[in-house]
Amino acid sequence: MATTSDFTSKSFSIANKNLKLNTKDDMAAILEDLSKQLDVEDVHFGGNTIGVEAALALSESLRKLKSLRIADFSDIFTGRLITEIPQALKSICDSLLECPALEEVNLSDNAFGGRSAEPMVNLLSNHPNLQVLKLNNNGLGIEGGKIVSGALKTLASHPQGSKLRVVICGRNRLENGSSESWAEAFSLHNKTLQAVKMPQNGIRPEGITAILTGLTSCAGLRELDLQDNTMTKNGSIAFSNAIKSWSSLEVINISDCLTGGRGGIEIAKTLATGVLKELKTLRIQFNEWDERALSPLSQYVSNYGHKLTTLEINGNRADPDEDVIENIREALSKHNHASALDELDEMEEYDPEDLEEESAGEESDVEDEGQSEVEKDTANTSPPVVQKETDLDDLTDQLAGTKIN
């Protein structure tokens, strides 16, 4: 919602031509055309594969683009060796630092992993006009996440101040290990940050809580996407507390976050107090919400959801014909948004006996979140079973039933 346009009236694109650009000669015709458009505002090189020598030649031309606002280099390393990517990436990123008007960088869908995060640091730490960063599906991992978020922390202290509005970093296996660093980075950009998207990162409740704590100082936040991470009750409580800080929030996506019924209650009750009157999109699919959460949700929609045009609740626990669902439909219709509700073809039946099982599961989860791996291992009072390392031959013998002690 808050990203700049993909294309402007002054665009240069070779996107999705499946070109294999290895050498300076491979780039010659492309760069000749680019040299005729030095006032270009956006470039699109995604969907091709760029080698070290070609990237170096390209970087020399990029430096001349003083009006460049949008740099799209998504999916540019298909088939490249891990030894090639850092050099090529550094050439491109360092040249973009010399483009004073640059606002948006898209390096998504480049599987360079954490080992190639370092070449981006100079650009991400030092470009004063950077507003939109897209790093989706790069396999950064924990260490790569720390490197990128660390660079953004440095950017926040730039003498010209921060302009960072949008951070997109989904599908990167960030997990809990980089959450504290991301939280600090977000808090340092609290005056400008408007959208954060971190779906499918394997982040668990402790990490979710850390990230939300960092974001609570970002009063201007308008979009938050944490889809397909894990909240459970603890993360849901943190979320319900955090949304009180974001009166301008327009988009929430926490589908597939395993909030559970009790977590859903916490979130829905907070929504029902009217803390989010600007919300346009709410995605909470497949979270095990039942009537206890859906009822206060319907109250929220009725009393405060006048701007809600997208509501996705499929995959939760209620019959589509139940009163609570009908109440949600009526509430949306009251605001002339009857079409806002998604399909409900995967709703589950709710059994009140599930509450007891759910409570036990949440207690177990809380214990797990509060223990280190060592504490979990030593918590069992039974004598430990000591196993010696088994080599391949031993394993073969065991499987064949011929192991002789």
- What Å distances lie between residue 77 and 84, 211, 255, CA to CA? 9, 30, 31
Alpha-carbon distance of 397 to 399, in angstroms, equals 5
Query: Dihedral through CA 372, CA 375, CA 376, CA 379, nearest 10?
Result: -160
Task: Look at residue 399 in the predicted model and tell me its pLDDT.
Answer: 35
Alpha-carbon distance of 106 to 133, in angstroms, equals 6
Amino acid identity of residue 45, one-letter, is F
Does the structure show a pLDDT above 80 at 368? no
Sequential DSSP letters for 264-300: HHHHHHHHHTT--SS--EEE--SS---HHHHHHHHHH
Residue 104, φ and ψ in degrees, nearest 5: -130, 130
pLDDT digits (tens, 9 = 90+) for 54-110: 999 999 999 999 999 999 999 999 999 989 999 999 999 999 999 999 999 999 999
More confident of the two residues 390 and 159: 159
- What Å distances lie between residue 254 and 200, 224, 282, 322, 403, CA to CA? 11, 8, 8, 23, 51
Domain boundaries defined on the chain = 10-102, 231-352
Percentages of the chain per state (helix, strand, coil), in multiples of 5? 45, 10, 45
Max CA-CA distance within the chain? 79
Task: Look at residue 393 in the predicted model and tell me its pLDDT.
Answer: 33
What totals of helices (H) and strands (E) does the chain contain, helices first? Answer: 14, 13
Are 231 and 201 spatial neighbours (Cβ–Cβ below 8 Å)?
Answer: no
Helix (H) or strand (E) holding 187: helix 179-188
Neighbour tally for 79: CB within 10 Å: 8
Helix (H) or strand (E) holding 49: strand 49-50
Amino acid identity of residue 360, one-letter, is A
Residue 87, φ and ψ in degrees, nearest 5: -65, -45
Q: Which runs of consecutive H residues, i.e. helices, occur in 15-84?
A: 24-35, 52-62
Does the structure show a pLDDT above 60 at 119? yes
Q: Considering the chain, what is the average pLDDT of its residues? A: 88
DSSP-based three-state secondary structure for 323: helix
More confident of the two residues 114 and 282: 282
Under CATH, which architecture does the 10-102 domain have? Alpha-Beta Horseshoe (3.80)
Does the structure show a pLDDT above 50 at 394? no
**Distant-in-sequence, close-in-space partners of 164: CB < 8 Å, separation ≥ 6:** 130, 131, 133, 152, 155, 156, 189, 192, 193
Half-sphere exposure of 202 (CA within 13 A, CB side): 14
Q: What is the mean pLDDT of residues 272-293?
A: 98
Can you tell me which residue has the tokens 């491109």?
92
**Distant-in-sequence, close-in-space partners of 213: CB < 8 Å, separation ≥ 6:** 183, 238, 242
Q: What is the mean pLDDT of residues 211-237?
A: 98
Task: Determine if residue 137 is left, alpha or beta; phi over 0 gives left, psi from -120 to 50 gives alpha, anything else beta.
Answer: left
Domains 10-102 and 231-352 belong to one CATH topology? yes
Task: Look at residue 343 in the predicted model and tell me its pLDDT.
Answer: 95
Residue 223 pairs in a beta bridge with 195, 251
Measured in residues, the chain has a length of 405
pLDDT digits (tens, 9 = 90+) for 190-207: 999 999 999 999 999 999
Does the structure show a pLDDT above 50 at 218? yes
Per-residue pLDDT band for 373 (boundaries 50, 70, 90) equals: very low
How large a percentage of the chain has pLDDT more than 90? 82
pLDDT digits (tens, 9 = 90+) for 4-42: 446 777 999 999 999 999 999 999 999 999 999 999 999
Alpha-carbon distance of 2 to 11, in angstroms, equals 20
- Tell me: domain 231-352, CATH 3.10.129.10, correct? no
Sequential DSSP letters for 326-377: HHHHHHHHHTT-GGGB---TT-B---TTHHHHHHHHHHHHHHHHHS-HHHHH
What pTM does this model have?
0.87
Six-digit token pair at 393? 């031959």
Task: Look at residue 115 in the predicted model and tell me its pLDDT.
Answer: 82
Q: What is the mean pLDDT of residues 167-178?
A: 97
